[in-house]
Structure 1
């Protein structure tokens, strides 16, 4: 009789260790999805929009440190995910998306479209599954590529082929069996010596850790080196909180950095970037430090990223091994070199004692200053709750919450798309089911995929959705006003988001007093399910980053 291809494909996903799939069911994927869900220990999370499925899988992959998996139908099911795919490509998130294709052996079909160019235009890999003899090979190739390249892959499977019955192939061997166990990369001694010479000549050192330094050994090595050379510790934005609580922690570097962080980086004479891609955001495109100051430690340094030089000196090495080797070499010297106190701990104290921005704005009655809102939330929210920093104008303010470990604060800002917040919060909640998740979002971003409030309710996730509601698209209105143009196109008014949430079965509350926040957070903590706080913020307060971009401040 044979076995339907969709069952063989579903079994291969299970053998790859996939336990959670985010899906929107349609003709092109429903048979595969039904077969996958039959396997013990699996869960399919059904959503209301394909983009949200891929966004959830992206956050799940980042938080769980695994391959995220989503599933969509053919035609519009794939066209709908192009933005989420492009974001995952730029953020280097490993994903495998099972997508239906129009019938391989049929004639005209109303959802027929050439999926390959759509997928590859985003930078993702497209693998068409058009041969029943290559079912295992295609799944293996998809997962191997996702794992080894940290890139999303779309498997396109015609749904008439999925139902064909074939002889069951042999046992599926997962892609992990083909990932080379080559061990971590040790630094070459000649290049290590060159890096030591550069470090010895420096007097004001900042160690910046990126995602490549997220392991505890790399973190400890960075701290050890910074303490030895009287340096400061910083991170890229996605790794903010890696050094939380350390007396040398000066926060995240780049366009979202604290003024104290920017001052420290400008005054430093050596930046040691560890496991950081240096694609522009961390240096604020050269505004806070030039590549001439940078020693990059990375397993695969590129030298050029997005058309800009990354560093002047490179040490190809595993993050922990490279930084430890630097520290070992310095400590082995006799007499030991000495680095002056240039105020690294003072910069760290400024991070905690000075506001991110003290410019005075006319805050209209009945609204709140978003800077004060984030301060109040930071004080009231437990540090072990997960936090998602979404996109849009409000995301600058919410990026400045202290002492939240890197593994609990999710920032995926690549491609600049709003509307990902609910999906990312859901993905984090799925990956961390035993801890509440907090979403920090703008009203414009929420409205893009507000339908996923239903998904959140149906799944029973515990998510506190904090919406900084200025009744507008903040970035756009500030730019229009600065140029003396009408802001009408960016102003939508303050919709009653709390009542909208209640329409989806989620508790909602309007917040126009800071004093109300602690009580509402406690109500959320004690209660079941999710809650939305419609926080009324002023549309007059401009983030310092935006104010600089539009020429209002230097």
Structure 2
């Protein structure tokens, strides 16, 4: 009986880690391994660009809670993922990327490059596997490291070593058997007492939840705490929708906060930040609730977050256990801020108090989003991309957190279609709707073919302003020419049909309900092109880039 090749054993090591889906683009240094992984039962989704493979794995990891897995070839395959990796690092997403390496036996190889510095510069971890007897343990250890640190780990395996006959040890135990089985961290009673005293002395309290609260299942406890201490609710952008059906939820706290949320957060004298790092954008650079004392409740409290003092006091604990301890420790108070008038203010105040009118024949982005919000089924999975139009899509009040994905930590456009593919792979029985800008979609429009080839159920709604939306508004604000950011309006419906998908240019928003019903019956992939005005600025853009501002102003 012929012995197995090393790449076969490496594939078995990945399969043993429970890898159900792998996002791939093949080359010499990974194609044999990937082919075997697919034969072993892993679903292989083959994309058209390496960046998109890793970005799709990011969304898959966020949506499933598992380690996302992607594979690219060595050299140029690896360098193509230098935008996705820092985004995954900053979003705390566990990934394992099988990257391959140039053959060690070659004196010269045209795709050879020192891959480790590229990866480590992004904040990810690079693990070269150059000693065959240790390779299988190296794979296991990479999954363990990704799970424990919640970072991407890139494996470099020279492809001449992959071709060697395997004569090493058997498969090690999988990482799942080595992950420490520990209970959630309860708070210290003295810390709870100090926090309760702080709450007792506050008048206007906001309970703000982040992804740590989502992960620990602290949502219901946050609601009870808010009721007990007459507090309002808010979330960070990634956790948006956690309290979507609560009348005292202000929605997102941060640069994307609604007009009502900005007013109310400005009144707060205490913000209880549950399971969040209190990032710059979450606090709008410290301007959103600058008068409030911030109490951070987290398993790893921080003094400085993204260059600024984030909180003045801390409670170290699992989010759910910490909030539940506060519920028991605080004295109930009568509702005052949580009044009918406050609920009405949240419910009825437009998220943009100064909307500009679009030109004739073009849509206002807020009107497009409102029409889609009313028509899209509540069980469909929504994905919000980056860019100027993302502000409007954030304000869809009926959408819960588990059906709305936002990953924006690196601020890069072009990821939307990859994220939608990742969510579709994670939720194969559900329809996925992507909200994207035209500039973002054009960066990786080739992945429309991936959607068709794999039969993914994705509806892409393109808010098409014929330009890079953020850039034109910034350039115009400081009086510089915008022609470098304006490129016209591609016919996305025709482009979609060219890739074998459905396509429509939506001229009348009243047609959306019938279009949604038809898409629900047909399934598959489609692109709907909404041509919107490039004269409409989002509130966050108007605040940060008023006319006559200076180049380089904070965004």
Q: TM-score normalised by the shorter chain: which range applies?
A: over 0.9
- Partner SS, residue 456 of structure 2: coil
The match for 1:29 is: 30
- Would the alpha carbon gap of residues 341 and 291 (structure 1) be closer, same or farther in structure 2, given more than 3 Å must change? closer
What's the secondary structure of 1:508's corresponding residue? strand
Q: Which moved more, 1:341-350 or 1:395-404?
A: 341-350
- After TM superposition, the score normalised by the length of structure 2 is 0.96
1:320 corresponds in structure 2 to 320
Contact 1:8 1:168 in 2 (8 A): no
Q: Shift of residue 517 of structure 1?
A: 1.8
Query: 1:290: Cα distance to partner?
Result: 3.2
- After superposition, what is the alpha-carbon deviation per residue over 1:9-65, rounded to whole angstroms, capped at 9, x for unaligned? 11111111101000001101001101111113x111111100110011000000111
String of CA shifts for 1:511-544, please: whole Å, max 9, x gaps. 1222122222222111130111010100000000
Please report how far the alpha carbon of residue 168 of structure 1 lies from its aligned counterpart in structure 2 after TM superposition: 4.3
Partner of 2:150: 150
Residue 372 to residue 456, structure 1, CA distance change in 2 (3 Å): same
- Aligned residues of 1:547 and 1:553 also touching (Cα < 8 A): no
2:164 paired with 1:169: no
Instruction: Tell me if 1:202 matches 2:197.
Output: no
8 Å CA contact retained: 1:72, 1:98: yes
Aligned counterpart, 1:333: none
Q: Which moved more, 1:377-386 or 1:464-473?
A: 377-386
User: CA separation of 1:531/1:348 partners in 2, compared to 1, >3 Å: closer, same or farther?
Assistant: farther
2:428 equivalent in structure 1: 433
Alignment pair present for 1:388 and 2:383: yes
The structure 2 residue matched to 1:520, chosen from 493, 515, 540, is 515
Q: Which residue of 1 aligns with 2:305?
A: 305
The match for 1:404 is 399
What is the aligned partner in structure 2 of residue 531 from structure 1?
Answer: 526
In structure 2, the partner of 1:269 is 269
Paired with 1:469 and 1:342, the residues of 2 have a C-alpha distance of 41
Matched ranges for 1:232-243 at <5 A:
232-243=232-243
Q: Does the C-alpha gap of structure 1 residues 381 and 423 become closer, same or farther in structure 2, counting only changes over 3 Å? A: same
Aligned to 2:246: 246
Which residue does the alignment assign to 1:281?
Answer: 281
* Preserved CA contact (<8 Å) 1:29 1:73: yes
Q: Matches of 2:180 and 2:361 in 1, distance apart?
A: 60
Can you give the 5+ residue segments of structure 1 that lack an aligned partner in the other structure? 331-335
Q: Secondary structure at the match of 1:239?
A: coil
Q: Is the 8 A contact 1:291 1:312 kept in 2?
A: no
Change in CA separation of 1:28 and 1:346 when aligned onto 2, cut-off 3 Å: farther
- Secondary structure of the residue aligned to 2:9 is helix
Residue of 499, 502, 505 corresponding to 1:504: 499
How large is the RMSD of aligned CA atoms in angstroms? 1.6
Correspondence 1:181-260 to 2 at 5 A:
181-215=181-215, 217-260=217-260
Conserved 8 A contact 1:260-1:348: no
2:117 maps to what in 1? 117
Which stretch has the larger CA shift, 164-173 or 257-266?
Answer: 164-173
Question: Helix, strand or coil: the match of 2:351?
Answer: coil
CA 1:337–1:224: 2 relative to 1, 3 Å: closer
What's the secondary structure of 2:528's corresponding residue? Answer: strand
Aligned mates of 1:342, 1:365 — CA distance in 2: 42
Mapped to 1, the partners of 2:188 and 2:326 lie a distance apart of 12
For structure 2, list consecutive stretches of 5 or more residues without a partner in the other structure.
550-555
Return the offset for 1:361. 2.5
User: Are 1:290 and 2:290 an aligned pair?
Assistant: yes
Summarize deviations over 1:441-489 as a string: whole Å, max 9, x none. 0000000000000000111111110000010011111111111121110
Q: How many residues align?
A: 548
Counterpart Cα distance in 1 of 2:356 and 2:172: 62
Contact 1:261 1:347 in 2 (8 A): no
Q: Deviations over 1:104-128 (max 9, x none)?
A: 1211001111100111111100000
Aligned to 2:541: 546
**Would the aligned equivalents of 1:291 and 1:309 in 2 still touch at CA under 8 Å?**
no
Q: Which digits, 9 at most, give the CA deviation of each residue in 1:327-357, with x for residues without a partner?
A: 0112xxxxx4525502466444333322211
Q: Deviations over 1:190-239 (max 9, x none)?
A: 11111111011112111111111115741111111111111111111111
User: 2: CA distance between counterparts of 1:53 and 1:360?
Assistant: 38
Structure 2 CA distance for partners of 1:552 and 1:341, relative to 1, 3 Å? farther
